[in-house]
Structure 1
Amino acid sequence: MGRLTIIKHVRIFDGGSIHGPRTAVIEGSHIGDDALADDPDPSTVEVVDGTGCTLLPGLIDCHVHILDEAQLAACASYGVTTVCDMACVPLEKYVRLRAAKGPTTWLSSSLPAYEENSRHGKLFKLARVTPDHAVHNTEEAANFVQDRVDEKVDYVKIIADFPGHEQAVLDMIQVEAKKHGKMTVAHTAQFHSFERGVQADFDILTHVPSDKTLDNNIVDKMVSQRTVAVPTLTMMQKMADSWVLWIASWIFPSLGRRNFQVSLDSVTVMHNAGVPIVAGTDANNSGIFSIVPGVSLHHELELLVRAGLTPIEALRAATSLAAQHFNLTDRGRISPGLRADLVLVEGNPDEDITATARISKVWSNGEEATIPAQHRRAGLGSCAVM
């Protein structure tokens, strides 16, 4: 038997519902059986008093863009123990982050599929990604997917915004990804993008429109195809509030104006119809629309609740549902044998979602992660090591 950590008198959100107060056990790198807490050897046990606290599975941010290894590791200090990177270039950076050892698990798509003359194509040129990496036709779509498979990506990412790829190219990327058993994630930040993404039958659509609320035709098709949504409301709010984009929309009317209420309403429509909603922030280091990885996920949960999810549903969006839809079978729930990615927070986040930010302790793979003093809320004294 490995070293035990016993968390007593704690409410537990197991990824589905709340239980307790009761006892939780960490045995080495995994969640242990509660029976291990009976008469343990005190020399091999750490006991934590969880009175007044709730234990959560490690949080998962399903849409980030990580800068480097230090930023990746810092996510765990906010309780985010897994992140899904949605574009990582150049290849050297992808390889480096893939090899990173730390408290935060990193998944990635490497380079996304983009059309050379699209807005994202122009951004990639600024990032010194050469046009030969763009996807111009259906033949190149197959080559693109094969390249990503060779890089051992966790999923294939596609930019489905318009102007962009022809629908046939989007459709071909989906077909080729399925041949290789790869899940697809599509950037769909406009109403028309959602239509294109649903038509291609991509597995996951990330972002949500701010130009027009999703209608029943799109949402019903998402339900029938079991399409998953990652709304990234944090980013949609930031863009809607941007004075830079507001001015640009007056100068270039084709850019359109963004209305954050439309984004909220689209999430509400999807949620009411039964579309699975998982949490993602679009955390990034762009400068204009920078969002800090880790801490931003707590704001995302607040926005999901504002859009109509209950606090319990928002917690599932960042834990069990996120793990389920990104094929992470070893985490996202609190159950014996699963990976011990855990977050201890003060209060009842199932009643007040803002409690997720009141972090007392974080464990990643059974190891306690460092939480810098500035990340801790003053007065966290009710969850203590005995």
Structure 2
Amino acid sequence: MGKLTIIKHVRVFDGQAVVGPKTVVIDGSDIGENELADDADPSAVVVIDGTGCTLLPGLIDCHVHIRDEAQLAECASFGVTTVCDMACMPIDKYHKLRAASVLGPTTWLSSSLPAYEENSRHGRLFKLGGFGPEYAVHDTDEAAKFVQNRVDEGVDYIKIVADHPGHEQAVLDKIQVEAKKHGKMTVAHTAHYAAFERGLRAGFDILTHVPMDRALDNNVVSQMTSQKTVAVPTLSMMEGMANSWVLWGLSWILPSFRRKTDFQNALDSVAAMRNAGVPIAAGTDTNNSGIFTVVAGKSLHHELELMVRAGLTPIEALRAATSSAAQHFNLRDRGRISPGLRADIVLVDGKPDKDITATQRISKIWSGGEEVPISSALGPNSNLGSCAVM
């Protein structure tokens, strides 16, 4: 038996509900059986008194854009031990982050290059970033080639920009068909109402963002429920867009940026999906665009607050960032606290199932059983809290 970490007298959110107080054991990189705590060698054990604290599975952010290896590690310092990148290019950056994830505290999933139409809003932004028309998808033949290229790169899922104006519906449909041929899940950018309709028509597995031009109605939400479509609302990004003076200025310069943006529509859309039973996973759209930057790691805690504001219970919000996120991104070794699973664990001071802001009062973080330094950005009152090493 190797060195054990034993956390005693702690409330545990196991991914579904809060249980305890009880004992949780970290055995190497995994969560161990509680029996390991019996008669353990004191010289090979770290014991933590979790009185007044709650143990959570490592948090999962289902929509990020990571800049570099340092930012990837920064996520873990906020308790975000798994992230799903929704556009990583060029290919050398993709390979660097993949390698950093293997050795670092944060697991990184990615789509590599997303499918986008050359003359769409995203296409114009990519042109400004130096990506020529050869990166875009223009027709159904290129759609099949695009999917094959991503599969060859070893991506975890296929990302599509489904906004309108953009691809013809036939191109979106073809991407979905080709992705399924290769056994790949699809995630579609759908930032306004018409995009949700297009994404549902294509049958994409996950729709990310929620519209601010119009709240989702019963027709769309019912279709999501019947198709078992998963939503990743990214309320942090939608709030940033609604409050962005830069975007407001661009809307006067570029007509393509003119679109009604009412953040209440985003909140109402999340409420409608939640009430209809649409599966919801937490994501932030973490990025460093400079237009409406969303901070890596820290933003997921704000996302949980916004989800509760939209009508989710704190327990439902916690599930969205743990067990539900793991389930819908096919991560079977995490998202819950159970023996045999990966020891991605966050210890917080308080009861986040009652007050969601308690997720920000982090005492300790483990990723794969290794303790991770806590970000100083959480504030001096977050460190240690009332949980002490014995």
Is TM > 0.5 for Structure 1 vs Structure 2?
A: yes
Instruction: Classify the secondary structure of the residue corresponding to 1:145.
Output: helix
Question: Deviation string for 1:185-213 (max 9, x for gaps)?
Answer: 00000100000000000000000000001
Matched, 1:365 2:368: yes
Q: 1 CA distance for matches of 2:228 and 2:317?
A: 19
Correspondence 1:241-252 to 2 at 5 A: 241-250=243-252
Counterpart in the other structure of 1:63: 63
Q: 2 CA distance for matches of 1:358 and 1:79?
A: 10
Contact 2:348/2:361 (CA < 8 Å) preserved in 1? Answer: yes
Q: 2 CA distance for matches of 1:257 and 1:275?
A: 25
Q: 2 CA distance for matches of 1:245 and 1:76?
A: 30
Q: 2 CA distance for matches of 1:38 and 1:381?
A: 27
Contact 1:341/1:365 (CA < 8 Å) preserved in 2? Answer: yes
Aligned residues: 386
Contact 1:246/1:257 (CA < 8 Å) preserved in 2? Answer: no
Matched, 1:267 2:259: no
Pick aligned residue for 2:303 from 300, 303, 322: 300
Q: 1 CA distance for matches of 2:283 and 2:17?
A: 21
Matched, 1:280 2:287: no
Q: 2 CA distance for matches of 1:185 and 1:45?
A: 43
Q: 1 CA distance for matches of 2:325 and 2:344?
A: 14
Q: Aligned AA for 2:82?
A: T
Question: Deviation string for 1:76-112 (max 9, x for gaps)?
Answer: 1100000000000111100100111210000000000
Q: Name the CA shift for 1:228/1:381 in 2 (closer, same or farther; >3 Å).
A: closer
Instruction: Classify the secondary structure of the residue corresponding to 1:78.
Output: coil
Contact 2:361/2:381 (CA < 8 Å) preserved in 1? Answer: no
Contact 1:4/1:44 (CA < 8 Å) preserved in 2? Answer: yes
Q: 2 CA distance for matches of 1:127 and 1:366?
A: 39
Mean Cα deviation higher: 225-234 or 247-256: 247-256
Instruction: Classify the secondary structure of the residue corresponding to 2:291.
Output: coil
Q: Name the CA shift for 1:381/1:212 in 2 (closer, same or farther; >3 Å).
A: closer
Counterpart in the other structure of 2:48: 48
Q: 1 CA distance for matches of 2:182 and 2:141?
A: 16
Correspondence 1:70-219 to 2 at 5 A: 70-100=70-100, 101-219=103-221
Gaps of 5+ in 2: none
Give the CA deviation at 1:249. 3.7
Q: 1 CA distance for matches of 2:137 and 2:174?
A: 11
Instruction: Classify the secondary structure of the residue corresponding to 1:5.
Output: strand
Pick aligned residue for 1:385 from 365, 384, 389: 389
Q: Name the CA shift for 1:304/1:381 in 2 (closer, same or farther; >3 Å).
A: closer
Instruction: Classify the secondary structure of the residue corresponding to 1:334.
Output: coil
Q: Aligned AA for 2:11?
A: R
Gaps of 5+ in 1: none
Q: Aligned AA for 2:381?
A: A
Give the CA deviation at 1:244. 2.4
Identity %: 74
Q: Aligned AA for 1:367?
A: E
Q: 2 CA distance for matches of 1:13 and 1:118?
A: 43
Counterpart in the other structure of 2:348: 345
Counterpart in the other structure of 1:22: 22
TM-score by length of 2: 0.97
Counterpart in the other structure of 1:6: 6
Q: 1 CA distance for matches of 2:11 and 2:131?
A: 49
Instruction: Classify the secondary structure of the residue corresponding to 1:15.
Output: coil
Q: Aligned AA for 2:175?
A: I
Give the CA deviation at 1:272. 0.4
Q: Aligned AA for 1:358?
A: R
Q: 2 CA distance for matches of 1:217 and 1:42?
A: 61
Q: 1 CA distance for matches of 2:130 and 2:342?
A: 39
Contact 2:47/2:389 (CA < 8 Å) preserved in 1? Answer: yes
Counterpart in the other structure of 1:355: 358
Instruction: Classify the secondary structure of the residue corresponding to 2:77.
Output: helix
Give the CA deviation at 1:248. 3.8
Give the CA deviation at 1:322. 0.1
Instruction: Classify the secondary structure of the residue corresponding to 1:362.
Output: strand
Give the CA deviation at 1:38. 1.3
Give the CA deviation at 1:127. 1.4
Moved over 3 A (4+): 247-254, 372-377
Q: 2 CA distance for matches of 1:220 and 1:66?
A: 33
Question: Deviation string for 1:97-155 (max 9, x for gaps)?
Answer: 01112100000000000001111111111111121111000010000000000000000
Question: Deviation string for 1:333-353 (max 9, x for gaps)?
Answer: 000000000000000000000
Contact 1:249/1:257 (CA < 8 Å) preserved in 2? Answer: no
Contact 2:77/2:375 (CA < 8 Å) preserved in 1? Answer: yes
Matched, 1:325 2:328: yes
Q: Aligned AA for 1:132?
A: E
Give the CA deviation at 1:375. 3.4
Give the CA deviation at 1:261. 0.1
